[in-house]
A and B are shown apart, each in its own frame.
Chain A
Amino acid sequence: MDKNKKVTLNIIGILTGLLFLSPFYIMLVNSFKTKKELFMDALALPSTLKFDNYIGAWERLDFLKVFFNSMLITVGSIVLIIIFSAMAAWMLQRTKSKLSNLIFFMFIGSMLIPFQAVMLPLIRVMGKLNFLNMPGLMFIYLGFGSSLSIFLYHGFVKGIPTALDEAATIDGCNSWQTFWYIIFPILKPITMTVAILNAVWIWNDFLLPSLVINRPETHTIQLRIFFFFGEYTKQWHLALAGLVLAIIPVIIFYFFAQKHIIKSVTAGSVK
């Protein structure tokens, strides 16, 4: 490629990159302004760099608490999904029967069902069973997360030779031991993918927690942000600081796990 072309390409790249970043920039800049400054001009730089908005938003969101709740729900659900989906996928792949095929296709087929189709009866059933809030939510995520996770594990297990299972059996392992000592460690790369895809989904989910969580002390970040906006509609300075706070954990996560995230997204969608 000649030099001129390369320069043009770089300029296009930089401009597009800046355009993509501009919403973050506008949000960040305005999160430092006072209410009055923000009202006057949303594009100007803030006159001082004070953290008042952040302190206010932190307290009103009860940020540490809701962060911890989101973390607990996300990690708890993912652990459940990983353990039970990996087990189910291995058994379904290794068992050649009509029943096992039927169950597998039921899981896969359900990916076409939009959440709205089951939303109302789901809340009713869970309410009747008195199984709401955090434990109920994790259980629901296990149910919804199983489909894609089993699908991904199933594809991966196919590539593991059955000779390995047989060798373990000959050495005296029962199924439980064969799975946990031999198979599960081999599943590590796909476990990473399953964990990341589910983490992004569960962490960011709003609708389901809003229907299932009815105790303010177990609110997630998304849920609290929603109520926060309802209360402070006209107070963008506080609201924006709250949004920045809500985004920071995700950005940090992305910064450290970038390679894995992009790889997982590719694996999850191209499969």
Chain B
Amino acid sequence: MKRSKSEFWGFVGPSLFAFALVVIIPLIFGIYYSFTDWDGISSQINFIGLSNYVEVFKDKSFVDAFIFTSKFTIASVITINLIGFSLAILVTRGMKISNLLRTIFFMPNLIGGLILGFIWNFIFTKGFASLGELTGQRWLMGWLSNQETGFWGLVILMAWQMSGYMMVIYIAAIQNIPQELVEASQIDGANAWERTKHIIFPLVRPAFTVSLFLTLSNSFKLFDQNLSLTAGGPANSTQMLALDIYNTAFKFNEMGVAQAKAVIFFLIVGGVTLTQVYFTKKGEVEM
């Protein structure tokens, strides 16, 4: 069907206009600003070449944040997917309470990250302390007061929040497995482990690609939870990349440096997730 140009722009225009003004133009400006001495206050913006980038690589807080974020991402991706997959297996066994359990496991996802962080802030600092006193377990005391407990605090929080989401994705995949295949394997004498390894795992692989992508990019971009659980403390030891960019911009007003960090952040997130999707997609089997 032939449509006039004006009709095309009439339908596509509004979204495209908002998208261009909010995403495309700021992205282009952002790349430009990363080469300037923009401080957010003075109207004079000068081109200074690569010096912001040089500064970023010399900036200890950025390097620390990068290392912390990477470690956190590895730990949280593994934890979330292991728990998420286990939950999916658990609730697809035909129990009467399965539906109730799904509802419960998924619930934390609907609550904002900022609020979740505050809730767990209370649990780790007060709840854990009381439990530690009650049971005499010293490791439960003083949570979030050093890097290690802050790290595991974030991992636990994210596992609680996101594994229900991954569960939903894995359930959809498990339910799509043709029953004939499972029955056939049973007739052939496969035990539960063999069945999981040769039938279930290969067939849920596409869900694995998606879950890995979501957990990877969410963990890497984490901001709200980081802010409300530890606020990066103590002494910036649990500060992740997004929070570091935020602080560089708004605490220290180094807009140009913050923008250079943001550009590097974009390249890292894009690079890591695209690589992951490429490799996990490669091994998928077609049905």
Contact = CB atoms under 8 A, between A and B. Distances in A.
A43 B129 CA distance: 10
Nearest to A91: B11
A88 interface: yes
A29 to B, nearest CB: 10
A72 interface: no
Contacts, number: 261
A16 interface: yes
Contacts of B223: 116, 207
B53 to A, nearest CB: 15
A175 B29 CA distance: 36
Chain A's interface size range is 35 or more
Given A229-B118, A247-B111, A262-B102, A26 B228 contact: no
Q: Is the interface of A mostly helix, strand, loop or mixed?
A: helix
Contacts of B27: 113, 117-118, 121
The binding surface of chain B is classed by DSSP as helix
A156 interface: no
Interface size class of B (residues with CB under 8 A): 35 or more
A13 B113 contact: no
Contacts of A42: 122, 126-127, 129-130
A118 B23 contact: yes
B100 interface: yes
Given A103-B16, A162-B1, A222-B114, A120 B22 contact: no
A162 B26 CA distance: 37
B214 A21 contact: no
Interface stretch (B72-80, B87-95, B279-287): B87-95
A26 B122 contact: yes
A143 B160 contact: no
B19 A107 contact: yes
Nearest to A97: B8
6 contacts: A21-B104, A92-B12, A114-B217, A120-B33, A122-B26, A239-B122
Interface of A: 1, 6, 9-10, 12-14, 16-17, 20-21, 23, 26-27, 30, 38, 41-43, 84-85, 87-88, 90-92, 94-95, 100, 103, 106-107, 110, 112-122, 124-125, 139-140, 142-144, 146-147, 150, 162, 165-166, 169, 175-176, 179, 200, 203-207, 222, 225-226, 229, 236, 239-240, 243, 246-247, 250-251, 253-254, 258, 261-262, 265-266, 269-270
